[in-house]
A and B are shown apart, each in its own frame.
Chain A
Amino acid sequence: MLLPRRVPLLSFILLVVGANADSFENTAIVRTVDLGGSVVQVATTFAVKALEANARVYTIALGDAEMQKTSWLEARVKGQATPLAVTDHPGSTDNGVHLVDIILPKPLALNATLNIILDAIQTHATFPWPERASQQEPQSLKYGSDLFVLSPYKTLVQRTKIKSPTPNIHGFSTPEKMEDFTFEEPVTKSGATITYGPYNNIVPSANAAFVKKYQRPVQVHFEYDYPVGEVSKLLRTAEISHWGANLNIQDEIWLRNAGPELKGHFSRLEHQTQAFYNRAASHVIPGLTLHLPAGIRNTYYYDLVGNVSTSRLRTAPSVPKDSPNKQYSVLELKPRYPIMGGWNYSFTLGWDAPLADSASWDKSTGKYIVEIPVLTPFPATVVNDAELKIILPEGATDVDFATPFVAHSTSFSTHTTYLDTTGRPAITLRFTDLTEKHALPLYVSYKVPLSAHLKKPIAVAVAFFSVFVFGLAARRIDLRIHQK
């Protein structure tokens, strides 16, 4: 398996060192899980001690289930903001345990200590329980995880803290037969935090034997007071126009309420009562607030029925591409109907932006470089399937692109639209399980010679000329009925 597809692409360094159990020792591992709706944040802090000199590569382990759910992984040294390079450990796909290497900024001396923080975002880690709920009932979710944080090194003490947004926790798993690791309560609850641990003296656990003997799933059943949304499909089209100096971005969004399905019929009366008394309704998605780029114009928001007028847009003025200030236009949109549990709503949102804010021209090579954001961040929402289609100007050659994280698939096609003769080259990229953290730009570079640029006016000129030729011929034909 190559680099896990959702791990951010950082500099690639080929490793020779294996996950030697004697290179490091974990003095403490603390995993903090911030429970959410469709997106859960996990921060694991490894307090590491080097057992050999010049140790440069630290290996972490993730179980199968955890790997499936993890859609963003970033490692950094505690106190520093720059992320560390993360790569796959060579030959690491067996035994249901995946190993990932983190390259430390400086080699550690013997017995030196370091704190490494691993930030991960898990998607589809929670599911609604009970699966169906009526409008008056509260919304509850279940979160599942593995009990132990696996590591190829010996761990002296380990604990997992699961933080729920409210103290209303209905229940949580209590692990049994934990005498090997602790003589106290294996799990404790304090307010809105459930702590599994501390567990002492854990042998190197990144192997099938440990997983089979000790690893087990734990679940937390908690009440969640915010709407749980997911975008089941996102189709983004970015069209570049050189004649109009314009970048058009259009999103087709299939939004779904991933909370418990609505039980019974939808009562408009009940819904209006809740709105009137300002009762927080966690089971319905009333609307979305999106942060769109600055300098947009001609924004449109429509669905299958037509234009949707229940939206408010506050645009930010256009910022030049080199400006460090990040400004956003804010769009508050309300769907045609409140999205209850299990309901879907699909709509199209698009806008135009000046191309000068997103494109540059390299005179020495004659290349244009365009920056296109992969997606608009949807707050606390996962995008299951995203497809990004970048339509380049007609006659673009030497196309090269780079994505901030690995794409599921890439393909090239030709897109034909207004005033096209040969069609425009289009790049289609597919991604899965994207979150707010994935709202990064990707870069495309291409060349457009002047002759390709002039294809459009020449094509229209040829059309005009054919009309003139017809006119010239028609002038010379006499259709009069002669009267001699």
Chain B
Amino acid sequence: MDYTQLQSLYIATPAFQPLVPVALLPYLAFFLLLTTFTLGFYVSTLPKDTIPVRETAVATLASVLGGFGVVAMFCTAGVYV
């Protein structure tokens, strides 16, 4: 598209909105990382089965929450990833 077309498209379309509102990110970071931390400790207390179904499940949950928590933490700290 040429310059004037892109410019009119930019003016006509609504403003960008992130998936998660920026104001929520610090609180999200705190609670997600707190949960990850707690779940991490919980994993260490689980019984050692031969097939670690329960441990893996809790570990996966902790990892996913930790992933989102770290991204939110980076944004809160000013490193906009």
Contact = CB atoms under 8 A, between A and B. Distances in A.
A267 interface: no
A457 B68 contact: yes
A436 interface: no
Interface in A337-370: 352, 354-357, 359-363, 368-369
A210 interface: no
A460 B67 contact: yes
Interface residues of A, number: 53
From B3, B17, B59, residue with most partner A Cβ within 10 Å: B3
User: Chain B interface mostly helix, strand, loop or mixed?
Assistant: helix
Which range holds the interface residue count of chain B?
35 or more
B80 A239 contact: yes
Interface stretch (A63-71, A96-104, A229-237, A241-249): A241-249
B75 to A, nearest CB: 4
Nearest to B52: A472
A23 interface: no
B67 A400 contact: no
Interface in A443-469: 443, 445, 453, 456-462, 464-465, 468-469
A371 B63 contact: no
Contacts of A453: 19
Contacts of A356: 15-17
Nearest to B25: A244
B3 A418 contact: no
A322 B40 CA distance: 47
The 6 A-B pairs with the shortest beta carbon distances in the complex, nearest first, are: A461-B67, A244-B80, A457-B67, A241-B80, A468-B59, A359-B16
7 contacts: A243-B72, A243-B75, A361-B13, A419-B71, A445-B6, A456-B67, A460-B71
Interface of A: 9, 11, 239, 241-246, 248, 298, 320-322, 352, 354-357, 359-363, 368-369, 371, 400-404, 417-419, 443, 445, 453, 456-462, 464-465, 468-469, 471-472, 475-476
Interface of B: 1-7, 9-11, 13-20, 22, 25, 36, 40, 43-44, 48, 52, 55-56, 59-60, 62-64, 66-68, 70-72, 74-75, 78-81
Given A419-B71, A468-B59, 13 more contacts: A9-B2, A241-B81, A356-B17, A360-B13, A361-B14, A400-B6, A453-B19, A457-B64, A460-B70, A461-B67, A462-B67, A464-B66, A472-B59
